């Protein structure tokens, strides 16, 4: 199966009360590990690419080519969407052109009227190409690719206005934060989540900052309409810890342990195991 739009997988998740994971990729190892995990768990999956990671991987065209080739080479049979994460106006257009099957246009830093206008244009453009699209209302806290914002609570009326444009899934701030959660974090705001789900007439919602949220809060968020959960930091921590362990045990100095295929394997295996576990937690395992 070729790469697909995320529309169907997210609508099925919303109807079935589970969530699809959107896991950020950084390179070949990340891509391979996440695709193998999805196949192992028999789960639909979204591969998220930030604009920074796109640059790191030498451009969106290279990302499309790499993901398609790895996907076909591994014989992946579960539905896979290649998704731009927190796209700018120019970035979203470039990814639609480059062959991504899903994009996020994040206009949350604009005044609402401008976000609305640009989101409308981008939704029309994405849909004219059969690509799914996510938009954002209310900033997500924390830092991502050098852009910092405090955790906001999205305005349910603004969410309704963007939802009515026909966006496929909507990211709305509910106190979630990118990166590690601080010890004094107040937790997800379920009252606001419920209000947003109601005001948008049951639009599938996206939970950004999916790393390190207590399991019971994730389960409750899914029960209130979250159908896509973004995870980045957690996989970076898993990879770093496994690689550290390998080096601290002196394994890189034993035999040909310095061979990158050996050196990067514990980290890649750790990513795969973590993604399978999260797919089970989100309820998407076995849903492909
Ligand atoms: P984390 O890095 O906190 O998992 O957030 C990922 C994310 O929301 C990407 O958009």
Q: What confidence tens digit (pLDDT) does each residue in 80-94 have? A: 999 999 999 999 999
Q: How large is the C-alpha radius of gyration of the chain?
A: 18
* Helix 233-248 / helix 28-41 crossing angle, nearest 10 deg: 110
Place of tokens 């007439």: 201
108 touches ligand 1 (CB under 6 Å): no
**Residues with a known catalytic role:** 85
Whether residue 166 lies inside any domain: the answer is yes
The answer to whether the beta carbons of residues 18 and 224 sit under 8 Å apart is no
208 known ligand binder: yes
151 known ligand binder: no
Interatomic CA distance for residues 144 and 147, integer angstroms: 5
Count of domains in the chain?
Answer: 1
155 known ligand binder: no
Whether residue 2 lies inside any domain: the answer is no
For residue 199, how many other CB atoms are within 10 A of its CB? 18
Is 22 in a helix, a strand, or coil? strand
Whether residue 288 lies inside any domain: the answer is no
| Residue located nearest, by CA, to atom 9 of ligand 1 | 230
The answer to whether the beta carbons of residues 48 and 25 sit under 8 Å apart is yes
Phi, psi of 209 (to 5 degrees): 65, 40
Interatomic CA distance for residues 228 and 222, integer angstroms: 9
| Residue 143 confidence class, pLDDT cut points 50, 70, 90 | low
* Residue range 58-81, pLDDT digits in tens: 999 999 999 999 999 999 999 999
132 touches ligand 1 (CB under 6 Å): no
Percent over 90 (pLDDT), the chain: 92
Is 5 in a helix, a strand, or coil? coil
**pLDDT reported for residue 149:** 54
Whether residue 52 lies inside any domain: the answer is yes
Q: Return the closest-CA partner of residue 19 out of 271, 236, 215.
A: 215
**pLDDT reported for residue 152:** 82
* Residue range 218-269, pLDDT digits in tens: 999 999 999 999 999 999 999 999 999 999 999 999 999 999 999 999 999 9
Whether residue 206 lies inside any domain: the answer is yes
Q: Which helix (H) or strand (E) holds 163?
A: helix 156-163
Whether residue 186 lies inside any domain: the answer is yes
Whether residue 260 lies inside any domain: the answer is yes
* Residue range 172-212, pLDDT digits in tens: 999 999 999 888 888 999 999 999 999 999 999 999 999 99
- The CATH number of residue 154's host domain is 3.20.20.70
232 touches ligand 1 (CB under 6 Å): yes
* Residue range 1-18, pLDDT digits in tens: 799 999 999 999 999 999
Say how many Å lie between the CA of residue 24 and the centre of ligand 1.
8
> What is the span of the domain harbouring residue 212?
7-282
Predicted model pTM:
0.96
φ/ψ bin of 101: left (φ > 0), alpha (ψ from -120 to 50), beta (otherwise):
alpha
């Amino acid at each position: 199966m070729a790469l697909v739009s995320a529309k169907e997988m997210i609508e099925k998740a919303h109807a079935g009360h589970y969530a699809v994971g959107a896991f950020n990729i950084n390179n070949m190892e990340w891509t391979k590990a996440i695709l193998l995990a999805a196949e192992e768990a028999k789960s639909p999956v979204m591969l998220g690419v930030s604009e920074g990671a796109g640059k790191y991987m030498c451009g969106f065209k290279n990302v499309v080519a790499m993901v398609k080739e790895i996907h076909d080479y591994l014989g992946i049979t579960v539905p896979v969407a290649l998704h731009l994460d927190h796209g700018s106006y120019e970035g979203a257009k470039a990814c639609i052109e480059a062959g991504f099957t899903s994009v996020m246009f994040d206009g949350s830093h604009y005044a609402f009227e401008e976000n609305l206008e640009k989101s409308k244009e981008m939704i029309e453009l994405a849909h004219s190409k059969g690509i799914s699209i996510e938009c954002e209302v209310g900033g997500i806290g924390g830092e991502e690719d050098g852009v910092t914002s405090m955790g906001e609570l999205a305005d349910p009326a603004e969410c309704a206005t963007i939802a009515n444009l026909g966006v496929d899934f909507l990211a709305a701030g509910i106190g979630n934060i990118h990166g590690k959660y601080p010890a004094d974090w107040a937790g997800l705001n379920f009252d606001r989540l419920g209000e947003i789900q109601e005001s948008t007439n049951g639009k599938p919602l996206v939970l950004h900052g999916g790393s390190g949220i207590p399991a019971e809060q994730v389960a409750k968020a899914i029960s209130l309409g979250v159908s896509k959960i973004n995870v980045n930091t957690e996989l970076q921590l898993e990879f770093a810890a496994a690689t550290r362990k390998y080096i601290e045990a002196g394994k890189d100095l034993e035999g040909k342990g310095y061979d990158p295929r050996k050196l990067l394997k514990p980290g890649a295996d750790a990513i795969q195991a973590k993604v399978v576990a999260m797919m089970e937690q989100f309820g998407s395992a076995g849903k492909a």
